[in-house]
Amino acid sequence: MPKSTALFTEQEIRLARYAKALSHPARVYIMEYLVKNANRCFYSGTISDELPIARSTLSQHLSALKDAGLIKGEINSPFIRYCIQQDNWDETKQLFTNLFV
């Protein structure tokens, strides 16, 4: 482990990763959209219809959220359906709650 991260707990590192993934308004919107529809998965085209951004930009935002573990993508070639990664989302909420207590 690099020396700089040895100073931080695993929880602090995970919280920072989640916070970074949520650091753009489009990503916050995407998460809100998925959370409001938590029992469903959506294709990127459906999400794209909700946001006035280019599909390539949406793809970058979805990738950032997926890389952080906040969402998962289910491949149904040639499309990908996106859903909340519920365990990580629950952890994110708890870590933020602990931060602000």
Range of the domain at 23: 8-96
Rounded distance between C-alpha atoms, residue 99 and residue 10, angstroms: 14
Residue 2 confidence (pLDDT): 56
In a domain, 80, yes or no: yes
Averaged over 5-19, what is the pLDDT? Answer: 93
pLDDT band at 5 (very low <50, low <70, confident <90, very high): low
49 inside domain: yes
Residue 37 is predicted with a pLDDT of 87
> Region 34-58: what's the mean pLDDT?
89
Q: pLDDT, tens digit, for every residue of 59-100?
A: 999 999 999 999 999 888 888 899 999 999 999 999 999 999
Q: For the domain that residue 51 is a member of, what is the CATH number?
A: 1.10.10.10
Q: How far apart are CA 86 and CA 89, in angstroms?
A: 5
Domain count along the chain:
1
60 domain residue, yes or no: yes
pLDDT score recorded for residue 79: 85
Q: Is residue 3 part of a domain?
A: no
**Hey, is 54 helix, strand or coil?**
coil
Give burial (CB, 10 Å; 0-12/13-18/19+) of 91: middle
pTM for the full predicted model? 0.88
